[in-house]
Structure 1
Amino acid sequence: MKSFPSLRLAAVAGAVLLASCGGGDDDAPAPEETRAQDSRTFTATPATTFAAMPPLAGASQTDIDTLNGTSRWAGVLNGAAYRVEVPANWNGRLVMYAHGYAGTGAALGVNPPSIRRHLIMNGYAWAASSYTKNYYDVRAGVEDTNALALEFNRIAQANSRPLPAPTKLYITGHSMGGHITAAAIEDEAFATARNKVRYHGAVPMCGVTGDTVLFDTFAAMQVSALAVAGIPNYPFTRWSEVSGLVTGTLFQTFPTPAAPTTPITTTAVAGARYASIVENLTGGPRPLFAQGLQFGGSFPSAYGTFGGDGTVNGILNRPGIDTNAFTYTITGDATTSAAINAAAQKVTADPEANRLRRDGLRWIPKVNGEFRIPVVAIHTLGDLFVPFNMLQVYAQRTAARGNSQYLVTRAIRGASHCDFTIAEQVQAFSDMVAWEAGGARPAGDDVLTPATVAAPTYGCTFTNNTRGQDESGTVNALRPAIVAQVPCP
């Protein structure tokens, strides 16, 4: 694969230098400002190992021995808990796994990759960090995942299994971990991170690959809800005062929009309008949007973010959300769409909220599309918490940087957030590895052509509804209904 062009890296590094020095050669860098996140404390529980993966029903003795015969090491690195697993027949490749949002509690936890069984059975080692901080701290996620990758050989040595340096280093993750995955491979991250790692391939899954556009999208959902409900100028941060009124106006039984009746009620009309706006904000007309809203369960999480101050719970010091780039579209109703766009309030970000830092990565690391390694990114169509538009933003930015040849995007017919089958995830990872090893660029889905995305069969190509023993509870609960309601041919 091509290496990072030195001129591009020099430009990013130069921007960081200017930001840190104020433009004068004799100026001493001022200390960086602190934020709420910097004063929060978190605790990692020490451990030395963890359980082997249970065998599948009817597994052969060879498979059981493979699962039980791995080296499993756990510990704490610079305040972050970690787990590392290396098969006896290690193939020399290391997969870093980045977990998703873990809430705002003080306890730090480590999650294994969902494709753990596939990795072990095929000779891959994997490692995962808890990160040193909870909240939406992608900066900590990138740094701590990179730090663990750099520590891999020392951990092995300390556990009496000296190993050679990995021949290949891959990264994958879900949700916020998908943001970490995508950010970690960017030129800007390599130029500004304190722990620098060059990855050979990546698989972001249901990831926030549009970085701060996710929070902009939530804000656009909120201001359009206020406009459709008839109170467009109600103060943005005082949502809690009118949330009951707005919800009652737009929804019959939240989160399902009020159904048309005879005669058609005002609530039914408002609900249908708002549902159409949300559909268009989150990726446009597409299969599985209706199921995502009706029973996918992810929309309430998005709705629950309304009324924030734009700092992402103290990750930023200034409001960083912006709705100025959004257009609110009610499909088939240009007149009402125009009225909503005229009425909806504009929220503007402070330009300094997420600037380049002098002490490492941005507080919310950027995904600019500046990478030159194989990336296979997958996203479910019905996800309304980290919506499908995140994959579209990723594709647009990557194309704008001239790097589309390194990105494959795939749409999966799931109705919720990250509800992929194991088979879908394994296929994405295996295809990325084969590509990185010199194989042909794998097939993907066009995520940017509206007519393609709106086709009834969209997402069928890479959807695999076969379920196995390791599926999540969400997949087991939702896939049967999806297959019954919107089957692929």
Structure 2
Amino acid sequence: MKRTTALCMALLLLAGCGGKDDDEPAAAEPAPAPAAPAAGATPPVRLQESRTFTLDPAHLPFGPMGGVTAETDRWHGVLNGAGYRVEVPKNWNGRLVLYAHGYDGIDPVLKVQDIPIRRYLVENGYAWAASTFSKNGYDVQAGLEDTNALALAFTSIAAQNNRPLAAPSKLYIVGASMGGHVAAAAVERESLETAISKVKYNGALPMCANVGDTDLFGYATAYQLAAQYLAGVPATTFPVTDFASKEDRIKRELWRIFPAIPTDQGRKLMAAFVSLTGGPRPIAEDSFRLKPMQDPVWRRFGDDGTIDGVLNKNIADTTGVVYQLDGDPALSAEEQTMNATILRVAAAPDANPRRSVGLRWVPKVNGQFDVPVVTLAGLGDLFVPFSMQQIYKRRAIANGSDRWLVQRAIRTPGHCDFTIAELVEAFQALVNWDLTGAKPGGDDVLDPAAVGSANYGCAFTRNAAGEDDPGALDAVRRLLPSCS
């Protein structure tokens, strides 16, 4: 109890217990599910296409980073409706890093975010560029096209700012959360074939990334349905339309204090969560008990599976989910009953089809790539759980791409709360792999014995916070189980 309370206090400094992180979805009423079109009819316009997003160019200019001695040129502007920032050191090494930012809700105002490893990049001669994207929402298609377009426009932007530059000798893409989905999809064979703006990157660093693409929404739905079932108020229809009226009862049945102190039924939900998100592993139960970590998933109750209108039909699928309420893989009588009676949700088979022109609305991460990819994933992440890494690995193995994949587990409770040291080390590993062919070390994400080890994630976790890390991050890491 004391340890959990202290950890929540530390996290309050980072995100606020129960507050909204910039990369978490804002609470919103679910979009109404569109009716299926009649045979031969024109498909309905997606809700996402009816939204208007605005950009204030006054927010694009940016100054030099404090404490950086390297001199840089800094440019900003608007490209195809998306704002951008570009920074090029005077001693440019010829390499360009594209950064794809995370999910920003359906905020109508577009924002640009600097790459987290900006200090390292400019001090080591790398140029970087980042787009606002032309649309918010979980619009990975727009994010990938806008990022690629910015990469292709790099030399033109430089020339317009009176610094003619040669084309980059190397192109890398780094992304966080939804931006990690962008980064992973950017190097996929399907994206290279179907993107309107085609870019061949030399390597990708997806961080806290949805590398399971639409499977993420199946996880979120399965978790939500399990919570209702175990609270004794199971959902009978999807989308869930009566959640608001039974939310208080769900919390009373599952927690004495939400979400720090679960009841017996709440502990079953915690076991179900651990199973759904990658199996027993360090940090997972710590995160389950923390409000800043629980809220982003909790507020998704009632989602209709269209990803807030990015799609017209439900993409969430729980038909293949096996719910487990303890650490024993054999199904108990209670688990058998739950699996036999809980509401199952099936995705519409044509919810996210391959399109005749351009990327799918939710680009696929099929595990078909032939350049180095290094991923970072937090062991306690509820929002984009560790199980996405396992899905990605299995797909890569099935497609013969696993030789190009290195995955690293980080002992952290939240979503994208890595230290700069962890990010820099992963980026260095990616570049060195690309330049020398020496594959860096990583973690086994598929072996249950390895993942469940008390020291799992220790190899690449760097707890000490630096000058560019949030002040409370070091305190948060100190309160988590340590490595022996």
User: Does the pair score TM above 0.5?
Assistant: yes
Once the two structures are overlaid, the 10-residue window that deviates more, 138-147 or 358-367, is 358-367
Q: SS of 1:120's equivalent?
A: helix
Mapping 1:112-191, distance limit 5 Å: 112-191=114-193
Which residue among 222, 231, 237 is the counterpart of 1:229?
Answer: 231
The corresponding residue for 1:35 is 46
User: Are 2:317 and 1:302 aligned?
Assistant: no
Displacement after TM superposition at 1:319 (Å)? 1.1
Displacement after TM superposition at 1:226 (Å)? 1.9
Displacement after TM superposition at 1:269 (Å)? 1.5
Mapping 1:218-257, distance limit 5 Å: 218-236=220-238, 237-238=240-241, 239-257=243-261
Q: Is the 8 A contact 2:463 2:474 kept in 1?
A: no
Once the two structures are overlaid, the 10-residue window that deviates more, 290-299 or 108-117, is 290-299
Q: SS of 1:446's equivalent?
A: coil
Mapping 1:265-304, distance limit 5 Å: 268-295=263-290, 297-304=292-299
Once the two structures are overlaid, the 10-residue window that deviates more, 221-230 or 148-157, is 221-230
Displacement after TM superposition at 1:296 (Å)? 6.9
Displacement after TM superposition at 1:231 (Å)? 2.8
Any gaps of 5 or more consecutive residues in structure 2?
1-39
Which residue among 361, 364, 367 is the counterpart of 1:366?
Answer: 364
Any gaps of 5 or more consecutive residues in structure 1?
1-28, 56-62, 259-267
Amino acid of the structure 2 residue aligned with 1:54: G
Q: Is the 8 A contact 2:121 2:127 kept in 1?
A: yes
Amino acid of the structure 1 residue aligned with 2:61: T
Greater relative contact order, per chain length (Cα 8 Å cut-off, separation 6+) = 2
Using the size of structure 1 for normalisation, the TM-score is 0.87
Displacement after TM superposition at 1:474 (Å)? 5.8
Q: SS of 1:107's equivalent?
A: coil
CA distances 1:114-166 after superposition (whole Å, capped 9, x unpaired)? 11000011100000000000011000000000000000000000000000000
Q: SS of 1:479's equivalent?
A: helix
- Distance 1:473-1:133 versus aligned 2 partners, 3 A rule: farther
Displacement after TM superposition at 1:209 (Å)? 0.6
Once the two structures are overlaid, the 10-residue window that deviates more, 44-53 or 111-120, is 44-53
Q: SS of 2:436's equivalent?
A: coil
Amino acid of the structure 1 residue aligned with 2:466: G
Q: Is the 8 A contact 1:156 1:162 kept in 2?
A: yes
> Distance in 1 between the 2:41 and 2:235 partners?
40
> Distance in 2 between the 1:233 and 1:74 partners?
49
The corresponding residue for 2:311 is 316
The corresponding residue for 2:320 is 325
Which residue among 64, 81, 87 is the counterpart of 1:52?
Answer: 64
> Distance in 2 between the 1:108 and 1:377 partners?
26
- Distance 1:453-1:130 versus aligned 2 partners, 3 A rule: same
Count of matched residue positions in the alignment of Structure 1 and Structure 2:
439
> Distance in 2 between the 1:314 and 1:45 partners?
24
Amino acid of the structure 1 residue aligned with 2:434: E
Amino acid of the structure 1 residue aligned with 2:290: F
Q: SS of 1:242's equivalent?
A: helix
- Distance 1:70-1:32 versus aligned 2 partners, 3 A rule: farther
The corresponding residue for 1:83 is 85
Displacement after TM superposition at 1:30 (Å)? 9.6
Q: SS of 1:297's equivalent?
A: helix
Which residue among 390, 396, 399 is the counterpart of 1:401?
Answer: 399
Amino acid of the structure 2 residue aligned with 1:344: I
Q: Is the 8 A contact 2:258 2:291 kept in 1?
A: no
Amino acid of the structure 2 residue aligned with 1:387: P
User: Are 2:200 and 1:198 aligned?
Assistant: yes
Mapping 1:303-452, distance limit 5 Å: 303-331=298-326, 332=328, 334-452=332-450
> Distance in 1 between the 2:458 and 2:153 partners?
41
- Distance 1:161-1:324 versus aligned 2 partners, 3 A rule: same
Displacement after TM superposition at 1:380 (Å)? 0.6
> Distance in 2 between the 1:117 and 1:469 partners?
10
> Distance in 2 between the 1:32 and 1:150 partners?
32
Amino acid of the structure 2 residue aligned with 1:287: P
Which residue among 102, 105, 121 is the counterpart of 2:104?
Answer: 102
Displacement after TM superposition at 1:438 (Å)? 1.9
> Distance in 2 between the 1:241 and 1:377 partners?
40
Q: Is the 8 A contact 1:419 1:472 kept in 2?
A: no
Using the size of structure 2 for normalisation, the TM-score is 0.88
The corresponding residue for 2:462 is 464
CA distances 1:161-199 after superposition (whole Å, capped 9, x unpaired)? 000000000001110010010011111111111110000
CA distances 1:79-107 after superposition (whole Å, capped 9, x unpaired)? 10000000010000000000000121111
CA distances 1:6-61 after superposition (whole Å, capped 9, x unpaired)? xxxxxxxxxxxxxxxxxxxxxxx997652010111111122573111011xxxxxx
Q: Is the 8 A contact 2:274 2:284 kept in 1?
A: yes
Amino acid of the structure 2 residue aligned with 1:241: S
Q: Is the 8 A contact 1:92 1:168 kept in 2?
A: yes
> Distance in 1 between the 2:155 and 2:193 partners?
24
Displacement after TM superposition at 1:232 (Å)? 2.6
The corresponding residue for 1:24 is none
Q: Which runs of 4 or more aligned residues in structure 1 lie more than 6 Å from their structure 2 counterparts after TM superposition?
A: 29-32
Displacement after TM superposition at 1:240 (Å)? 2.3
Amino acid of the structure 2 residue aligned with 1:448: L
> Distance in 2 between the 1:416 and 1:296 partners?
10
Q: Is the 8 A contact 1:168 1:200 kept in 2?
A: yes
- Distance 1:379-1:351 versus aligned 2 partners, 3 A rule: same
Q: Is the 8 A contact 1:36 1:314 kept in 2?
A: yes
> Distance in 2 between the 1:41 and 1:473 partners?
36
Q: Is the 8 A contact 1:296 1:416 kept in 2?
A: no
CA distances 1:363-400 after superposition (whole Å, capped 9, x unpaired)? 11110001000000010101111111111111111111
Q: Is the 8 A contact 2:260 2:291 kept in 1?
A: no
Amino acid of the structure 2 residue aligned with 1:42: F
Q: Is the 8 A contact 1:324 1:347 kept in 2?
A: yes
